[in-house]
């Protein structure tokens, strides 16, 4: 049984896997890690392996605890992965993007897959039917765009995201909502269409915390999966057990 730990800037996601099946998922602040971690171990004493992916410095005491309790794999850019990495600067590739590419390989083998992660940033990652990761794009995320308008202008307010926005804003607030919400939706539609012209039979995966707010229309080849990164990290852990 595996424990997947995904540590972000302020929050931590953990998931318990039995092979490829998620048994439980938790999302909490970094300050609560030890408390929640110990609850999970008590509930699932069969957990014996773990993988840690951290975009920032992970608390050293927490790291030692994981190492002492479990067979721990700390993901980095040198970790063996189940795909060929054709990124020009592989050492700079984000661990989240590595995990998403691994999930694409695991769940959609021998298919062209575009993964869109709508989080702090919006990332686009493409892996080919030959299981080659090519790269993609990084764009400002939803909250970043709202905060940027407020921070870098004298009079624009900080507006809260909403799932729907009029095309024509009738106030400063609704104009901001139109520009950001509709702008991102049009960006996503345009990027997907551009990739479709380059890659045949493209499968598109939408994930990330803001994917529901953006309410991207789902077609036959577009799928939403909120656990895609966690599933990819678990696949990397399973892959490394055989190395």
The reply to whether 201 belongs to the active site is no
Evaluate whether 113 touches 226 at the Cβ level (below 8 Å).
Answer: no
The single residue listed with the structure tokens 């990819």 is 232
| Integer Cα distance of 54 and 56 in angstroms | 5
The angle formed by the CA atoms of residues 23, 83 and 46, to the nearest 5 degrees, is 25
| Integer Cα distance of 12 and 54 in angstroms | 9
Burial class (CB in 10 A: 0-12, 13-18, 19+), 236: buried
Among residues 55, 196, 28, which one has the least CA distance to residue 121? 55
Among the options 27, 59, 69, 96, which is catalytic? Answer: 96
Which residues, 6+ apart, have CB-to-CB distance to 105 below 8 Å? 82, 83, 127, 131, 235
Q: Just list the catalytic residues.
A: 96
């Amino acid at each position: 049984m595996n424990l997947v730990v995904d540590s972000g800037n302020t929050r931590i996601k953990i998931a318990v896997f039995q092979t490829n099946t998620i048994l439980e998922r938790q999302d909490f602040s970094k300050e609560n890690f030890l408390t929640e971690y110990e609850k999970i171990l008590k509930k699932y004493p069969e957990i014996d392996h773990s993988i840690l992916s951290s975009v920032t410095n992970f608390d050293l005491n927490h790291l030692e605890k994981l190492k002492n309790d479990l067979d721990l794999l700390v993901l980095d850019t040198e970790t063996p992965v189940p795909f060929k990495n054709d990124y020009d600067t592989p050492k700079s590739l984000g661990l989240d993007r590595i995990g998403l590419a691994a999930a694409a390989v695991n769940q959609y083998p021998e298919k062209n897959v575009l993964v869109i992660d709508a989080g702090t940033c919006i990332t686009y990652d493409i892996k080919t039917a030959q299981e080659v990761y090519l790269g993609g794009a990084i764009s400002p995320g939803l909250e970043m765009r709202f905060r940027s308008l407020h921070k870098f202008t004298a009079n624009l307010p900080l507006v809260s995201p909403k799932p729907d926005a009029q095309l024509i804003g009738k106030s400063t607030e609704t104009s901001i909502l139109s520009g950001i919400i509709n702008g991102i939706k049009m960006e996503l539609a345009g990027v997907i269409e551009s990739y479709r012209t380059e890659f045949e039979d493209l499968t598109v995966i939408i994930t990330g915390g803001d994917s529901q707010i953006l309410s991207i229309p789902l077609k036959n080849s577009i799928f939403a999966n909120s656990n895609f990164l966690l599933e990819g990290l678990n696949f990397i852990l399973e892959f490394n057990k055989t190395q």
